[in-house]
Amino acid sequence: MKIKFLLSLLFAVGIGFTTMAQSVSFGPRVGATFSKISLSDGEGDEMEDELKYTPGLQVGAVANFGVSELLSIQPELLFTQKGYKIGDSDAYIKGTSNYIEVPVLAKITFGSEQVKGFVTGGPTAGYWISGKTSMKIASTEASESYEFEDEDNRVELGASFGVGLAYNLGAGALNLDVRYGLGLSSLYEVESGESKSRNRVLGVSVAYLFGK
């Protein structure tokens, strides 16, 4: 039901901006993520830990609605992998979570007709669909699916900030994005004063948007 809500929200956002857009472009996005979990205490202060960034995949679709030459609104529908790693190559524990994510970003574009720079920022909503935990000790490796539990939060609210370059190519524009995703909601239900766990994601991706 919550996935249907996210899709309905994305559809409603798209319809709303289509009616006021001066231009519309759309296309696929594919890239890599480098993520970890940040732990904070009950007062919001970051706690030192041994969690390291781990790589993942990001793929999905993008629509861009131009409001003016400077400003556009860009909703997206993405499959995004997030996770963490504790240890090194010889011995580690690694977790990977798969999300359906809907960013709705404001995009400010500047530059020449052929090459443009841009900055993006806005809220994101994600839904946890599956996960896996891997472990390596000495020469032994094992992995298993992570089962969703009652104290886990499937829905994640966050924010995304990024910069990039767009190059006009053929029928559209090739976009290179570098983004930082900041999870705002805790991954687990916690009592007041308990430490909170939030995703932190650095993403590098390429999108090709048809239409100008």
Fold that domain 2-210 belongs to in CATH: Porin (2.40.160)
**C-alpha span between 196 and 42 (Å, rounded):** 7
**C-alpha span between 36 and 79 (Å, rounded):** 17
pLDDT tens digits for the chain (212 residues)?
A: 555 665 565 556 555 555 566 788 999 999 999 999 988 765 555 555 568 899 999 999 999 998 888 999 999 999 999 998 888 777 888 889 999 999 999 999 999 889 999 999 999 999 999 988 887 775 667 777 766 666 678 899 999 999 999 999 988 999 999 999 999 988 887 665 567 789 999 999 999 999 86
Decide if 136 contacts 157 (C-beta within 8 A).
no
Q: Please give the model's pTM, rounded to 2 decimal places.
A: 0.83
Residue extents of the structural domains in the chain: 2-210
Reference 179, options 96, 70, 105; nearest CA is 105
